[in-house]
Chain A
């Protein structure tokens, strides 16, 4: 039997680490602007190491990206993902796989990597949440352009976005999955109206986007006309990976907040709360290790079911941890009156309160696919269980009941 500590020859990991250290030394994260550091990482193929060379990558395993992230954050830099999460995590894989041509894709990717051009995702609608393919926003061809009308909702970062990933209905006569087309739309044009959407925390982290005769170039279409659902799947699978796929250090993140709160309030310790926290810590740690295992065993390239597993587990764990935190605070949790509407803050803001985070966590099991839909995906796509009987698959979209 081979030993688990066998030394490997100089690996891709070592090569990536070396390249990342060189970039960080030449562009000190603590003294140069973020755009310069991230631009240098892009040019060195370290923005997405699994991308082709020349498109921010080195053609290596996706599993090596954390090597770069670790070196950058250890040197005091931000994670590229955190600066432009929708673009970095979901836009990039989609445009690389379905982008119109290499020049256009490169022109999108570099400012996406540097954070100079923020991206948002125009999928959800008031009438189409988990059932994304039921969406109604229309795109009608007009020469080299398409004319877009409709309303999107829950659009993170739309108020600062330069580009939006838009799925629109181009043929209402087709069954719902077949009448969709995928575009990249300019968010700064007339006819794109972004309005804050206030949530139960009091903040407006999301937006509604009203599209009124907005225009999108046919040259900015991803994939074939009518094949938008296939393209959207790439985005959605990566959404789950991006939402659930961040592995912190032991005791960091949400469970770290709970530990900090526990240590700050020794007067509130009870055996029952201690048992709950020990159980939560164990779940958090097992979840963290499972992500690490999945990363080790995943073959390079397309995200697998680990994304769906991790999204489901992470969402429910977050809620349970914040429920614990509120219980630990006891009656003091009631003392909160800052319901200021604020578009700038997000729930990861270090200044946000336990109460805000607790409320925000209610969204975790809804956003990016509800936990119910996630369980269907695991049951059907991973375990191979039969699908639900459905009435919308073969009917023209315009005949399917909606609401």
Chain B
């Protein structure tokens, strides 16, 4: 293949339009009142709105190939969408369906079952969850939460995002000959999906119990491993982008408040104690956006960087940033920031939950330490952007 120029961090016109369209959608169709109403419903989201996200806005199918009804986009395109949807705290099974199940299916071997399922997930007519151990970084072995004996699946997996609302369960299992990726109907005999009370009220998690259930096997061995690895990497990059979006929105809200809230006869934003904290939030937000975008670029193109390293940099950075900025936003809003009626706590809880999913900041720092510090030479590849 001819050497192609890498333009990391260039933003395309299409990405700008996508961001603007999603911003308008969130403002008009998914305002705070809507969000509060939806989190009290059984599913936690609005299926009609979800379908519009798929068909009208194309936000669910960005990474699905065009011949399967998708937009054939990149992980960077998805990261742009994830940042904007995160900024508005849009509810619905985005993490389960778009960030986890779709990438797993895209990277799995083609087949009628897989292709039809991808098309249905892309247009929003169905939703999915990836049933795997999603609280640690992917290492090839620990992700499988259930065992597979042929196509019969048995085991219990905790903390599965969006499990309760999923029309389809994509299951990572450990078989006698290595990993297995299978699809299970949540309504089948022997399947129990228990909705758990969730710390993050905008994104439910569930417990999935499979008791000798028959699944449709999509991939085994190296194929299944590759699909799961791609799913974890993509989801890691997109979750980081969502965290960056949350942090950015909280900074905007806080700055606006600091300009209008008067104490001691002047806006609180004129006090250095407040101003400096806002400046630190700004710095953190910019670094988080960088790290998230870099991870998405590395997922798209192996020449950019080692994808696992880039995702760990992003997750370690963005988890801490979203968490810290959310705490600062509550603090700088003063008493109102601690109330149920203010939106800050919804973001704060999402930030806390996001930091626990796909590996904590500490877990990702551990992976960075293994990749960077425990090697003898300087064999951690130089990202191509550095010379740009």
Interface residues of A (CB under 8 A from B): 1-8, 66, 70, 247, 249-251, 259, 262-263, 274-275, 277-279, 281-283, 285-290, 292-293, 295-297, 309, 312-313, 372, 374-376, 378-380, 382-389
Taking the nearest CB of chain B, how far is it from the CB of A337, in angstroms?
A: 31
From B279, B287, B290, B365, contact of A379 by CB (8 A): B279
Cβ-defined contact, A4 with B276, below 8 A? no
Given contacts A4-B76, A375-B280, A378-B283, contact A286 B290 (CB under 8 A): yes
Q: Are B259 and A313 in contact, with the CB atoms below 8 A?
A: no
Bound Cα distance A309, B286 (Å):
9
| A127 CB to nearest B CB, Å | 22
Instruction: List the B side residues contacting A380 at CB < 8 Å.
Output: 275
Known contacts A262-B373, A309-B286, A375-B276: A7-B5 contact under CB 8 Å:
yes
Contacts of A290 in B (CB 8 A): 286-287, 290
Chain B's interface size range is 35 or more
**The residue from A5, A7, A274 contacting B301, defined by CB atoms under 8 A apart:** A5
Residues 261-294 of B at the A interface (beta carbon under 8 Å): 266-267, 269-270, 272, 274-276, 278-280, 282-283, 286-287, 289-291, 293-294
* Contact between A378 and B291, CB atoms less than 8 A apart: no
Contact A289 B373 (CB under 8 A): no
Q: 1/0 per position for B162-202, CB-CB distance to A under 8 A?
A: 00000000000000000000000000000000000000000
In the complex, what distance in Å separates the CA atom of A168 from the CA atom of B255? Answer: 37
A4-B6, A6-B7 known; A282 vs B365 contact (CB < 8 Å) = yes
Other A-B pairs beyond A247-B386, A279-B365, 4, CB < 8 Å: A70-B387, A250-B382, A275-B362, A278-B368
Distance in angstroms between the alpha carbons of A8 and B289 in the assembled complex: 25
Question: Which residues of chain B from 102 to 146 have any CB-CB distance to chain A below 8 Å in the complex?
Answer: none
A contact residues around B316 at 8 Å (CB): 279, 282
Please tell me if the beta carbons of B259 and A289 are within 8 angstroms of each other in the complex: no
Given A295-B388, A375-B275, A386 contacting B8 (CB threshold 8 A): no
B141 CB, min distance to chain A CBs, angstroms = 22
Cross-chain contact A4 with B10 (CB below 8 angstroms): yes
Of residues 1 through 35 on chain B, the ones whose CB sits less than 8 Å from some CB of chain A are 2, 4-12, 14-15
Write the chain B residue with the least CB distance to A288.
B386
Question: Closest Cβ of chain B: how far from A375's Cβ, in Å?
Answer: 4
State which of B67-75, B89-97, B211-219, B338-346 sits at the interface with chain A: B67-75
12 contacts between A and B (CB under 8 A): A1-B14, A1-B73, A5-B4, A259-B378, A281-B372, A282-B313, A286-B313, A296-B7, A375-B276, A378-B278, A380-B275, A386-B267
Give min CB distance, B380 to chain A, whole Å.
6
Most B C-beta atoms less than 10 A away, residue of A2, A278, A281, A375: A278
The prevalent SS among residues of A at the interface is helix
A249 to B380, CA, bound (A): 11
Across the interface, B388 reaches (CB within 8 A) one of A251, A285, A292, namely: A292
Q: Are A385 and B365 in contact (CB under 8 A)?
A: no
Q: What CA separation (Å) do A283 and B317 show in the bound complex?
A: 8
User: With the chains together, A38 CA to B385 CA distance in Å?
Assistant: 26
Task: Give A385 to B10 CA distance when docked, in angstroms.
Answer: 29
Q: How far is the CA of A386 from the CA of B268 in the complex (A)?
A: 9
Q: How far is the CA of A372 from the CA of B369 in the complex (A)?
A: 32
What is the CA–CA distance of A22 and B162 in the complex, to the nearest angstrom? 59
Q: Is the CB of A379 within 8 A of B275?
A: yes
Question: Would you call A4 and B369 a contact (CB within 8 A)?
Answer: no
Of A5, A292, A386, which one neighbours B5 at CB under 8 angstroms? A5
Query: Is residue B383 contacting chain A, with contact meaning CB distance below 8 A?
Result: yes
In the bound complex, residues from chain B placing their C-beta under 8 Å from that of A385 are: 255, 258-259, 267, 269-270, 274-275, 278
The CA of A308 and the CA of B245, in the complex, are separated in Å by 22
Is B300 an interface residue, CB under 8 A from the partner?
Answer: yes
Q: Which 5 A-B pairs have the closest CB atoms?
A: A1-B73, A379-B275, A385-B269, A378-B279, A375-B279
Q: Is the CB of B278 within 8 A of A383?
A: yes
Assembled-state Cα–Cα distance A387/B387 (Å): 38
Please measure, in the bound complex, the distance between the C-alpha atom of A283 and the C-alpha atom of B365, giving whole angstroms. Answer: 11
Q: Is the CB of A309 within 8 A of B373?
A: no
A68 to B2, CA, bound (A): 24
Give Cα A240 to B282, complex, Å.
17
- Complex Cα distance, B264 from A389, in Å, reads 12
- CA A295 – CA B9 in complex, angstroms? 9
The answer to whether A289 and B76 have CB atoms under 8 Å apart is no
Which of A247, A313, A375 has the most chain B CB atoms inside 10 A of its CB? A375
Known: A250-B382, A274-B373. A372 touches B272 (CB 8 A): yes
Point out the residues of chain B lying under 8 angstroms from A386, CB to CB: 259, 266-267, 269-270
B81 → chain A closest CB, angstroms: 11
Q: How far in angstroms is the closest Cβ of chain A from B205?
A: 27
| Residues B14 and A2 in contact, CB atoms below 8 Å apart | yes
- Pick the most buried of B283, B294, B317: most chain A CB atoms within 10 A of its CB: B283
Q: A278-B373, A296-B388 are in contact. Are A8 and B365 (CB under 8 A)?
A: no
Contact (Cβ within 8 A) B275 A289: no
Task: Count chain B CB atoms within 10 A of each CB in A259, A277, A289 and give the residue with the most.
Answer: A289
User: Which residues from chain A contact B259 at a C-beta distance below 8 Å?
Assistant: 384-386
By beta carbon, the residue of chain B nearest A296 is B9
Within the complex, the shortest CB–CB distance from B253 to chain A, in Å, comes to 12
Tell me whether A384 and B386 are in contact (CB under 8 A).
Answer: no
* Residue contact B368 to A281, C-beta cutoff 8 Å: yes
Once the chains bind, are A383 and B76 in contact (CB under 8 Å)?
Answer: no
> Is there a chain A Cβ closer than 8 Å to B62's Cβ?
yes
CA distance A251 to B286 in the complex (A): 21
Taking a contact as CB atoms under 8 Å apart, the answer to whether B313 and A379 are in contact is no
Q: Say if the beta carbon of B48 comes within 8 Å of chain A.
A: no
In the complex, what's the smallest C-beta–C-beta distance from B219 to chain A, in angstroms? 26
CA distance A249 to B378 in the complex (A): 11
Contact status A263-B275, CB under 8 Å: no
Chain B residue with minimal CB distance to A7?
Answer: B4
Let me know if B272 and A376 touch, CB within 8 A. Answer: yes
**Which residue, of B12, B365, B382, has the highest number of chain A Cβ atoms within 10 A?**
B365
Min CB distance, A359 to chain B, in Å? 25
What A residues does B267 contact at CB under 8 A?
385-386
Task: Please tell me if the beta carbons of B12 and A2 are within 8 angstroms of each other in the complex.
Answer: yes
- Answer yes or no: B46 CB below 8 A from chain A CBs: no
Q: A387 to chain B: which residues have CB within 8 Å? A: 270
Verify B382–A249 contact, CB threshold 8 A: yes
B77 at the interface (CB under 8 A from A): yes
Residues of chain B contacted by A66 (CB below 8 angstroms): 387-388
How many Å from the CB of B29 to the closest CB on chain A?
Answer: 23
> CB < 8 Å: which of B2, B266, B290 contacts A293?
B290
B232 contacts partner chain A, Cβ-Cβ < 8 Å: no
Known contacts being A1-B74, A263-B376, A278-B369, is A296 close to B278, with CB within 8 Å? no
Interface membership of chain B positions 141-163, coded 1 if the CB is closer than 8 angstroms to chain A and 0 otherwise: 00000000000000000000000
